[in-house]
Amino acid sequence: MAALDREAIVAALFDRLQARCPDIRAWSRRWVPPDTAVRRVQPFGVLVCDSQTPTNAVGLPVLWEIGLQLVVYVTTTQEDETPDAKLNLIIQQVEDALVLGTEEDPDLEAGDERFWAFAGALVRCWISGVVEMVPGELTGQGVAVIPLSVLAYAA
């Protein structure tokens, strides 16, 4: 059995989020500090991998959990707009991007509890914890940190 190509999975997830989160106008896989992010086109998304944990049961393939953080920066300049309203829409887009088995994905199995073929592996991906938000109602600059987990093993 071939080793799991974790980079291909992260790259494919990054591509999927870019394609399915149209309200994020710019993307990066390299960490961007907040003071630098505010000078970029926004909404701005940064996807960074923060952990990779293998588990192994005798006779079964190694199962990897890949932890990622999606950091989204949003700014508003209109008095009647709030960054958290934009952040809520983007969080919904991220959640929708992780749901598979739709008409756009006819070759993938539907269902939150199933593994699906993705980047040469069998994968499950979800929002894996508390979405931390700084709503930015005073400054017009908001940020959300969305924890993502990918559970994968080589197909």
Average pLDDT on 54-82 reads 85
Number of domains in the chain: 1
| Average pLDDT along the chain | 82
How many Cα atoms are found within 13 Å in the side-chain-facing hemisphere of 134? 14
In this prediction, residue 112 carries a pLDDT of: 41
The label of the residue with tokens 């949003």 reads 74
CATH code for position 134: 3.30.2000.30
Q: Is residue 93 part of a domain?
A: yes
Q: Is residue 60 part of a domain?
A: yes
Q: Which helix (H) or strand (E) holds 34?
A: helix 34-37
Give the range among 7-16, 38-47, 144-153 with minimum mean pLDDT.
38-47
Average pLDDT on 146-150 reads 94
**pTM, to two decimals:** 0.84
Average pLDDT on 45-63 reads 84
Q: Is residue 1 part of a domain?
A: no
Contact 24, 43 (CB under 8 A): yes
Contact 74, 143 (CB under 8 A): yes
In this prediction, residue 106 carries a pLDDT of: 47
Domain coverage including residue 135: 6-154
Q: Is residue 10 part of a domain?
A: yes
pLDDT in tens, 72-122: 999 888 878 889 999 999 999 999 888 765 555 544 544 444 556 666 677
In this prediction, residue 111 carries a pLDDT of: 45
Average pLDDT on 25-38 reads 83
| 3-state SS, one letter per residue, for 62-98 | CEEEEEEEEEEEEECCCCCCCHHHHHHHHHHHHHHHC
Average pLDDT on 140-154 reads 88
